[in-house]
């Protein structure tokens, strides 16, 4: 039995109470337009301070680059330590590394592997980083540019002592020593990824990693380095970049 609505007026009160509209209940249904729930369908931003807050631009040139997390730093240190230890004692991992290298050397035309290996030359990698550093400094991010240059300068300071300490012979030159870790790989990673972190465009970091991978693969296929040389240099380069990136946190420019 349906109730009849009460009269609009009441005794002693001339004001008319607000009446609910038939569509009022629908306005608070989850997912309905204007409901205020996360499932908004009207496309309007929510009116809470947290919802209205817009994220900072991730592609702003020269912005403080994100540093790898602690887990990435831990694994880079662990892999670098294990590979160095295996090379020093010529353990099973180093012997497997040599067998793999001998199986893949010259499996592609040498001009192609040479092209990849040359990407780690100072003459190729340094101008890329220099242009990115100049661009970042021009945009007012001089601190980030300086730290990127210092990271590049740290590569030979760390690689050369490791080469002399391990004294590992090369795949094609067993009479020579000083192949662990790969200086070309570390140069490529710090230069290209450092430039990508300075420019801060979506496409720069994938391109930087592709150039670094091409360098390492070219060095192995050409017979200039063992695979462990390249792997250790990747870990070393990541540690260098992490130190440089964290140096810009809390203060950019």
Residues 185 and 236: their CA atoms lie apart, in Å, by 10
> Do 226 and 98 touch, CB atoms closer than 8 A?
yes
Q: For residues 181 and 164, what is the distance between their CA atoms, to the nearest angstrom?
A: 10
The mean pLDDT values, 10 residues at a time, for the chain of 253 residues are: 47 50 47 47 48 45 53 92 96 96 95 96 97 96 94 96 95 90 97 95 96 98 97 96 74 45
Under DSSP, the state recorded for 2 is: P
pTM, entire model? 0.72
Cα 61 from chain centre: 15
Cα separations in angstroms, 53 against 36, 46, 48, 49, 56: 16, 10, 9, 6, 9
| Contact yes or no for 242/154 (Cβ under 8 A) | no
- Of the candidates 189, 169, 177, 178, the one whose C-alpha atom is nearest the C-alpha of residue 236 is 189
**pLDDT score, position 58:** 45
User: Tokens 């060095």 belong to which residue?
Assistant: 219
Residue 237 belongs to what H/E stretch?
A: helix 227-247
Q: How many CB atoms lie within 10 A of CB 247?
A: 18
**What is the distance, to the nearest Å, from the Cα of residue 165 to the centroid of all Cα atoms in its chain?**
30
SS3 10: strand
Cβ(163)–Cβ(84) under 8 Å?
no
Identify the CA nearest to 196 among candidates 57, 55, 66, 77.
66
Cβ atoms of 216 and 230 closer than 8 Å: yes
DSSP secondary structure string, 95-134?
HHHHHHHHHHTTSS-HHHHHHHHHTTSHHHHHHHHHHHHH
CA distance 133 to 227: 31
Q: Which pLDDT belongs to residue 148?
A: 95
């Amino acid at each position: 039995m349906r109730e009849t609505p009460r009269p609009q007026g009441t005794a002693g009160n001339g004001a008319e109470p607000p009446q609910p509209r038939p569509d009022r209940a629908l306005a608070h249904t989850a997912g309905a337009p204007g409901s205020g729930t996360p499932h908004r369908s009207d496309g309007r931003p929510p009116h809470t301070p947290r919802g209205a807050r817009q994220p900072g631009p991730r592609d702003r040139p020269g912005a403080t680059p994100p540093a790898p997390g602690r887990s990435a730093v831990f694994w880079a240190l662990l892999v670098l330590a294990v590979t160095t230890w295996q090379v020093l004692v010529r353990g099973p991992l180093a012997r497997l590394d040599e067998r793999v290298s001998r199986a893949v050397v010259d499996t592609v035309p040498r001009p192609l592997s040479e092209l990849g290996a040359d990407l780690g030359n100072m003459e190729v990698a340094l101008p890329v980083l220099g242009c990115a550093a100049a661009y970042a400094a021009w945009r007012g991010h001089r601190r980030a540019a300086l730290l990127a240059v210092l990271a590049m300068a740290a590569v030979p300071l760390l690689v050369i002592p490791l080469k002399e300490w391990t004294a590992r012979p090369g795949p094609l030159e067993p009479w020579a020593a000083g192949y662990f870790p790969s200086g070309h790989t570390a140069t490529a990673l710090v230069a290209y990824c450092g430039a990508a972190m300075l420019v801060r465009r979506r496409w720069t970091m994938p391109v930087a990693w592709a150039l670094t991978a091409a360098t390492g693969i070219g060095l192995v296929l050409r017979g200039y380095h063992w695979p462990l040389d390249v792997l250790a240099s990747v870990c070393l380069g990541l540690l260098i970049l992490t130190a440089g990136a964290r140096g810009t946190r809390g203060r950019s420019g």
